[in-house]
Amino acid sequence: MSARNPEYDFAWCPGCGDFGVRRALEWALVDYTTENETPHSNNVIVAGIGCSGNMVHLLEGDQPFGIHGIHGRTLPLAFGIKSGRPELNTVIVAGDGDFLSIGAEHIGPAAQRNIDITCVIMDNGVYGLTKGQSSPTSLFGATTTSTPFGKIETPLHPLKSYMTMGVSFVASHYSSKPRDLAKYIKMAMDHKGFSIVHVQSPCTTYNDTYDILKGDRKKGIPGSAWIIPEDHDPSSRQAADDLIDRPGVPLGLLYKEDEPTLEDRQEDVRQKHPGKSVADMLETYATGN
Ligand SMILES: Cc1ncc(C[n+]2csc(CCOP(=O)(O)OP(=O)(O)O)c2C)c(N)n1
Ligand code: SF4
Ligand SMILES: [Mg+2]
């Protein structure tokens, strides 16, 4: 439910981190369209299935196009959209379950092709929509509805995985600072290539990590989120890896590499191997008599 879409029968729980991500995405879309002087309809939101994916129905303000597809397949859908309409600003919104569990196999190929799309991933360490099962990022030992005696798998480290797979833009943030988050989402939209903004977005119902992220002095909790130092060089893979190895949640741009996008590579092949004209093709069928 939203002011623009009051009939959509879904509402995030009070305090859900996805509210902050929504606000940040709305700001980033406005900045992007204003700066590029493009209509809002030049933006396409491709949503996964999950509380996070419901974002596509809940955005306020001028509306982008949106598609709410099937669980785990945001990347193939976005790839299709971008291949057919390369001029569209194509943005995925998905959860840790959708993107990193069932959808994980698509990340590597998208990175190797350097498809020019942006992914905003809302990581709450749980499957929220289906009532609190463990996800790839749930902590070892976490008690969830699917792991009543504690999770026995080692958690995935999304940022390390993105770097290993060759994603050309990797930022990390959390939902509690939407103004800052909007800046990185906009940067990711501007990046020519495959970009991921990985957002810690707490689930107040099944995995409330606000205290852990932000800290609570009264409870003696230090807070695990830390701002990436200003002198960090995001063009250095080694520097990004070093930051990712530090404990806690980095806030900011970790890595950005400018390399040819899939479209550039395809154009290069077209230039080197121009297709035959219709007349040439017909000529090959001529019998010569
Ligand atoms: C193919 C398929 N498998 C499983 C489901 C059930 N399902 C719907 S949402 C979801 C997980 C959602 O978790 P996440 O992507 O982290 O989103 P969140 O709700 O936490 O934002 C699952 C397993 C489905 N809809 N389709
Ligand atoms: S279940 Fe969790 S992720 Fe889903 S809306 Fe509620 S707080 Fe948000
Ligand atoms: Mg989730």
15-52 pLDDT, tens per residue? Answer: 999 999 999 999 999 999 999 999 999 999 999 999 99
* Phi, psi for 65 (deg, rounded to 5): -70, 155
Is residue 288 pLDDT above 80, yes or no?
Answer: no
158 CA distance to ligand 3 centroid (A)?
Answer: 13
Q: What is the pLDDT of residue 257?
A: 98
136-166 pLDDT, tens per residue? Answer: 999 999 999 999 999 999 999 999 999 999 9
Domain residue limits, the chain: 18-260
| Token pair recorded at residue 165 | 């797979």
- Distance, first Cα to last Cα, the chain: 71
Which residue's C-alpha comes closest to atom 7 of ligand 1?
130
How many CB atoms are located within 10 Å of the residue 250 CB? 22
Residue from 109, 28, 93 nearest 61 by CA: 28
Q: How is 27-55 classified by DSSP, letter by letter?
A: HHHHHHHHHHT--GGGEEEEE-SSTGGGH
Residue from 107, 120, 156 nearest 136 by CA: 156
- Ligand 1 binding pocket (C-beta < 6 A) is 48-52, 71, 95-98, 122, 124, 126-130, 135
Which residue's C-alpha comes closest to atom 6 of ligand 2?
13
159 CA distance to ligand 1 centroid (A)?
Answer: 21
**289: confidence class by pLDDT, cuts 50, 70, 90:** low
274 CA distance to ligand 3 centroid (A)?
Answer: 46
Pocket probe for ligand 1: among 55, 130, 204, the residue whose CB has the most ligand atoms within 8 Å is: 130
Is residue 226 pLDDT above 70, yes or no?
Answer: yes
95 CA distance to ligand 1 centroid (A)?
Answer: 8
The architecture CATH gives domain 18-260: 3-Layer(aba) Sandwich (3.40)
60-75 pLDDT, tens per residue? Answer: 988 889 999 999 999 9
Q: What is the pLDDT of residue 281?
A: 86
Query: What is the C-alpha separation between 170 and 20, in angstroms, rounded?
Result: 20
Pairing of strands 249-256, 169-174: antiparallel
Q: Which residues surround ligand 3, an ion (CB under 5 A)?
A: 95-97, 124
Q: What is the pLDDT of residue 1?
A: 73
| Token pair recorded at residue 236 | 């250095």
46, β-bridge pairs: 67, 92
102-140 pLDDT, tens per residue? Answer: 999 999 999 999 999 999 999 999 999 999 999 999 999
126 CA distance to ligand 3 centroid (A)?
Answer: 4
Q: What is the pLDDT of residue 50?
A: 98
Give the atom of ligand 1 at the shortest distance from the alpha carbon of 98: 15
pTM higher than 0.85 for the full model? yes
47-56 pLDDT, tens per residue? Answer: 999 999 999 9
Residue from 79, 13, 16, 68 nearest 46 by CA: 68
241-268 pLDDT, tens per residue? Answer: 999 999 999 999 999 999 999 999 999 9
**Furthest CA-CA distance within the chain:** 94
Q: What is the mean pLDDT of the chain?
A: 96
Which residue's C-alpha comes closest to atom 8 of ligand 2?
16
**95: confidence class by pLDDT, cuts 50, 70, 90:** very high
| Token pair recorded at residue 133 | 């099962």
Q: What is the pLDDT of residue 4?
A: 78
Return the higher-pLDDT residue of 279 and 192. 192
